[in-house]
Every structure is written in C-alpha cells, then in structure tokens.
Chains A and B, each alone.
Chain A
Amino acid sequence: MIEIKNITKVFNPGTPNEVLALDNVSCTIETGSFVVLLGTNGSGKSTLLNAVAGTFLPDSGTIHLDGIDITNMQEHSRAKYIGRVFQNPCSGTAPDMSIAENIALAVKRGEKRGLHAALTKSNIVEFQKKIKALNMGLEDRLDNPIGKLSGGQRQALTLLMATWLRPSLLLLDEHTAALDPKTANKVIQLTETIVSKEKLTTMMVTHSMQQAVNLGDRILMLHNGRIVFDIKGADKRVIKASDLLAMFDDIRKREQIDPSASEMLQENYI
C-alpha cells in the first residue's frame, strides 16, 4: 500500500519560472491496485510519479510504501522496492552492454553486488527462458548490444527487467508514448499480462484516454498539481473515453473563468 500525504513540490522557487508542480497532494493506493494517472501537460502526473520514485525530494509531506517511510530515501535505496519503466526507450537500458548483461543488472535490483561473475551458464538459461516468452526472437541474441534493438523491444525488455524481482510497486512513466501505435499495443498487452499475473501494485502515467479506460482499476486525473478526479470501483469499470474527454473540457471551462468567480459558482450551483 502506498500512502502519499500532503506532498508539495515547487520547482525553481523564488524565480520567475517558479512552478507549483504538486499542491498538497494526498492519496492512498491499495496493494494490488493498478492506478492510471491522467492529465494535461504540466498537470503534475509525472512529477507525482517521480516523487514516489525519488528523482527529487518533496518540499513537504510524506510517502510510505508498505509502511516504510521512503520520503527522504535516496533514489537508489528505494529502488529495492520499486520497478520503473521510462518514457524514453533509451532510458531504461544500458545501450552498449549486451541484452544478457542488462538483465543481469536487473536481477540484482536493490541487492548487494559483489565479485561474482554477472553472467553464468545457469542464469543465461533462465534469461533465455523468460525472454522467449516475449515472442520477439530475442532469446538467441543475448550477446547483442541492447542499443541495437528497436524502441518497442527495448521497452519490453525494460518492463521485464523492472519486474524480474517482484517489486512492491511498479512505476510506468508514459512507457508507450514514444512507440508507434502497433508496438505500443504490444507493450501494453505485455504490461497487462505481467501486472495481472504478478498482482503488482502499479502506477502508470499516460496521455492516452483509451489506455486509461482499458487498463487498471482506478484513474487519478491531475490538474495544476492537484488530484481533481478520483475514479474507482464501479465508476471506473463503466467509464468511457468520451466521459474522460468531457471531464477535461469541464476543467478547461472552469479555468477560463476567474478562479474566485469559479469558486463562487461552484459553491452556489454544484
């Protein structure tokens, strides 16, 4: 279970570029839940994900993961609990190292790394078995540098690597946004398979309404650093992409009116 309490983050404080990226955000995500974070550019959805991943430390608030306070834990220390896939296919793998070596790095996520050989005959057999399940024909190319693979292949491998050791939490940061639609679909299918098989607690950021509708059991819609809609349970099961679009329109309209007027209208009429 993830408990995010009153997280606030201001980027570039005291400069003309000051941005309130997260504004007192709180939410609790149950174990085994698959949450989709939705929002416009600059809404704070990726920032919220990065706050959990530890890319930066929040100005205030706390984050607990399965009861452990990870608020001030360094990025590499909390990696023990968290698997991540990034938007850029180049970000999740070491391009000049072989497929096998990349996997060997992931097999040790969060564990002590000593002077044992990273690749042994037995673990290569294990790698081949799991990679074969991807159906990408990569199992015979374990010695190839991973940088030579296509974006889709790299994202599939990154996903496999992030979940090789079962993480307490899986973070997906628009991990199909840089792929063509067909490849994106394949990676999404793979995501679904792995998440449901391992019953992983997952947070996924996406731009795609369709993905938000099809995947997961909860949608958090963010705007201006706040959670504006929290759709779960039966509501999530019946929601359509058109409903989500209407919600976006609603937010946009509210924005066009003066904030104080909008508040007054909301109090009187909603």
Chain B
Amino acid sequence: MSLLIGALTIGLILALLALGMFISFKIYNFADITAEGSITLGAAIAAALIVSGMNPFLATLIAMIGGFIAGSITGLIHTKFNINGLLAGILMMTALYSVNLHIMGKSNLPLMSQNTVVSFIEGLKILPNNDIAVFLATLILVTIIGIVLYLFFRTNIGTAMRATGNNPQMIRALGVNTGMMITLGLGLANALIALSGALLAQYQGFADVQMGIGMMVWGLASVIIGEAIVGGGSVAMLIIGSIFGSVIFRLLVAVALRLGMNPNDLKLITALFVFIALVIPYYTKKMQKRGVEAK
C-alpha cells in the first residue's frame, strides 16, 4: 500500500516536469533538454537553502525562480543568437551541471532531519497516515497548477504564446515578438521543472547532481502516454493528459521493477518507449495514405 502511495506521489511530483515538457514540446515544438539541468537545479537550490536554515517554502519558490532564469537563458541563446534549439538546451544543461555542483558544494546533499515542505505537511497531523497526507497535498498542488496553467493559456498573452508555436509568421504579423514569447515560455516551463526537482529532493530526502539524467525523455514519455489515454485535442486535454501520463508511467515502472526488471534497463526501455510512441503516428498516417490511394 505505501509502495503504491509512494509511486503515486512521485508520479504527481514528476507531473510538474511533464507539464514543463508539455509547454516546451507541445506548445513550442521545442525539444528542450534544459530540463535535465533545471530539475537538478531546482533540487540543488532548494536543498542548499534548506540546509542553510531557510524556510522550505521560500527555498522552493527560489528554486522555481532559478529554473525560470535557466529556461529564459536557453530561450535567449536560441532566439537572440540564432542557435539551434536542441544545441541551446545542451549548452545550458552542460553549464548547469557545474552550477549545480557549486550550489550544493558536493555531489549529494542529504535532507534527512531537515525542515522540508514534506516534513511540514507530516507535522500538521491532519490525517493519521503521513504518506496519504503528503500524497493528497501533492495532488492538490498539481491540480491547482494544472488549472492555473489552463487559464493562463487562454489569456491574451497565453494565446499569443500558443500561436508562436503554431504559426510564428502569422503572430509576428499581428505584432507579437516571437523571440520574447519563446524566452518567456521556456522560462515558465523550466520554473515548473525546477519546482518538480525541488519537491522531489524534499520527498526523497536528498538532492543529487546526477538526478536529472534521462528526465527529459521521462517527461516526454509522460506527455505522450497522456495524449494517448486522454486525447490531445485541446490545451485542457494535454494538461490533464500530462498529469495522468506521469502518474501512470510511474506506476508502470514501479510494477515492472517489482516484477523483477533490472533497474539498469529503465532508461533504455523509456527511450525505446518514446521512440516507438513518436514513430507510430508517422506510420499510421503513411498506412492511411496508402489505403486511400488503393481505393
């Protein structure tokens, strides 16, 4: 039971990563690998500040701001210097590795016996079971963020961001600075990803400089699973899908590990999964085309 609750909670925390990937990948068609650096950045900032005695909520907020700055810099590298998006992300991710080491001072920073957001919720003693209390708190947080994100993408600036990803030529002709929209959007995406990292560190009780490896593909897998289950017709569907996708993916992994899958194979299988998920739509389209021609 607690294993199941644990998997669900981590799935929800990583849903924030999935929401970040939804913004960069679905709104902007931008495969933003900054995620691997910014999820660790969020964990590192939160952990270092908490260890120094700061209020964990404030530390988590500052972690988000750190993520926003990291994403914005990727956006600036891409839009101001005309560097390919993937390369801009790789540059930022690589630079963040050193930044993260500096912030933490060492490669692993334990948070056991520190005052964290998680220990605060456990200390409230609202429910007899601490695991369920933390799970519900995470669920409420993720739901609120999902709703706020949905409303944001229906505002004037939010629709301009979506149009930037959908048809930059059109939205420039309507007076929108597309470079600015991409920079802001990547900032927002990485703020969410850093929040995910900050909460993950507090939940599992440590920050590790390696914890970002493979996280971008993990986030993508969540977005793709969610789209397959919920459908991708609208922004609302994609947001709900990303959250569900992350939770379901985490559950699948937990079950697979329980059934004896070698943990070393996890990233290989995740990558294979995303590859297949990306390839299937292409081939089904091709098959449909052939079918039409055959008639």
Contact = CB atoms under 8 A, between A and B. Distances in A.
Given A97-B162, A109-B175, A117 B170 contact: no
A110 B167 CA distance: 17
A91 B159 contact: no
B81 to A, nearest CB: 16
A101 B160 CA distance: 10
Interface stretch (A56-64, A77-85, A213-221): A77-85
B160 A113 contact: yes
A131 B170 CA distance: 19
A76 B167 contact: no
Contacts of B154: 117-119
Given A76-B172, A76-B175, A97 B166 contact: yes
A93 B151 CA distance: 22
B126 interface: no
A230 to B, nearest CB: 27
A82 B176 CA distance: 13
A34 interface: no
B147 interface: no
Interface string A52-94: 0100000000000000000000111101101010100011111
Contacts of B163: 94, 97, 102, 105
Contacts, number: 88
A118 B155 contact: yes
Nearest to A75: B172
Contacts of B292: none
Contact of A94 (B155, B158, B166): B166
A119 B162 CA distance: 14
Contacts of B152: 115
Given A105-B160, A114-B156, A116-B156, A93 B170 contact: yes
A102 B163 CA distance: 8
B156 A95 contact: no
A111 interface: yes
A108 B174 CA distance: 8
B176 A113 contact: yes
B177 A76 contact: yes
Interface string A245-264: 00000000000000000000
Nearest to A53: B173
A96 interface: yes
A76 B178 contact: yes
A162 B151 CA distance: 26
Contacts of B3: none
Contacts of A116: 155-156
Contact of B156 (A74, A79, A115): A115
A4 interface: no
Q: In this complex, which of B156, B158, B170, B173 has the most chain A Cβ atoms within 10 angstroms of its Cβ? A: B173
Nearest to A86: B169
Contacts of B172: 75-76, 79
B136 interface: no
26 contacts: A53-B173, A76-B177, A91-B167, A92-B170, A94-B162, A94-B167, A95-B166, A95-B167, A96-B162, A96-B166, A97-B166, A102-B163, A104-B156, A104-B159, A105-B160, A105-B163, A108-B174, A108-B175, A109-B174, A109-B175, A114-B155, A116-B156, A117-B155, A118-B155, A118-B156, A161-B174
Interface of A: 53, 74-77, 79-80, 82, 84, 86, 90-97, 101-102, 104-106, 108-111, 113-119, 161-162
The 7 closest A-B pairs by CB, nearest first: A79-B175, A110-B175, A113-B156, A94-B166, A118-B159, A94-B163, A94-B167
